[in-house]
Amino acid sequence: MVRFTGGIELFEERRKLICHVLVEQIKSFFTYDADRQFYAKIFPGSVDPESLKHIRKMKTTDIDSVLAIEQSVYKYPWTRGILVDCMVVPGYHCWVCEDEHAVFGYAVLAIGVDEAHIMNLCVSSDAQGEGWGARLLEEMIGVAQEKPIVDTLLLEVRKTNKSAIGLYKKYGFKKIGERKAYYPTENGRENAVMFALTVS
Ligand SMILES: CC(C)(COP(=O)(O)OP(=O)(O)OC[C@H]1O[C@@H](n2cnc3c(N)ncnc32)[C@H](O)[C@@H]1OP(=O)(O)O)[C@@H](O)C(=O)NCCC(=O)NCCS
């Protein structure tokens, strides 16, 4: 009886080992994110969820998710109309970052002549502090650098927004001025700090 149970356990262990080796061999043929997502669906647990997080271009079907994050993170959020406009206005570039389940951050960049402008950069509260704000910012800096017509990357940020200011300074943005009473607050208005990064 004992030996019989042991035989089943051994068989089960070998079966798991063979399955694991097979899955790894199949996975080793593929290197792309899309394939990782495919394997995560077919063999749940075989792919590290962290490796499924990625940045991609925003689609109109993302607007609901983006709006939900916008409304949960900002006291004075953009409207659906503004987000929709960002997707269609020439020169605007929009990205999201997502995991296997949902979008958890986004960024909007407007490219003009001489200057590009960071219009929005936002990571959902539960995903902040994991490096995705920085990755989205790198994406925007990379696109601005690729455009020969763009010399400078500009942005405005609330004077009290320590995390965003910390992020922009880390990437070499320099303060170039302040716009007085630019943003609404619960008690009145707040200055915007203007930052610039040379990208030419
Ligand atoms: C600002 C924001 C996008 C940063 O994204 P994030 O994913 O939380 O930040 P990251 O984990 O990528 O951090 C990158 C860097 O940002 C800075 N930073 C992030 N959080 C910070 C904090 N609480 N205080 C100071 N600096 C901070 C640090 O320099 C950090 O680098 P480090 O980890 O080496 O110290 C995010 O906090 C956010 O969405 N805030 C609400 C929306 C917003 O204010 N957007 C900016 C509009 S201008």
Cα separation, 57 vs 39, whole angstroms: 22
Region at 154 (left for phi over 0; alpha for psi -120 to 50; beta for the rest): beta
Superfamily (CATH) of domain 53-198:
Gcn5-related N-acetyltransferase (GNAT) (3.40.630.30)
Per-residue pLDDT reduced to its tens digit, 82-131 = 999 999 999 999 999 999 999 999 999 999 999 999 999 999 999 999 99
Instruction: Report how far ligand 1's centroid is from the alpha carbon of 171 (Å).
Output: 11
Instruction: Calculate the average pLDDT of the chain.
Output: 90
Annotation marks residue 156 as catalytic: yes
Ligand 1 geometric centre to CA of 158 (Å): 13
Residue 74 annotated in active site = no
User: pLDDT band for position 11 (50/70/90)?
Assistant: confident
Domain ranges of the chain: 1-51, 53-198
| pLDDT at residue number 33 | 62
Give me ligand 1 centre to Cα 69, in Å.
Answer: 15
User: Which is it for the CA torsion 153, 157, 159, 161, positive or negative?
Assistant: negative
Regarding the beta carbon of 162 and ligand 1, being less than 6 Å apart is answered: yes
Cα atoms in the Cβ-side hemisphere of radius 13 Å centred on 75: 8
Q: How confident is the model at residue 1 (pLDDT cuts 50, 70, 90)?
A: very low
Backbone angles phi, psi at 33, to 5 degrees: -55, -45
Least confident of 28-32, 141-145, 181-185: 28-32
Catalytic member of 156, 182, 183, 190:
156
d(CA 73, CA 115): 27
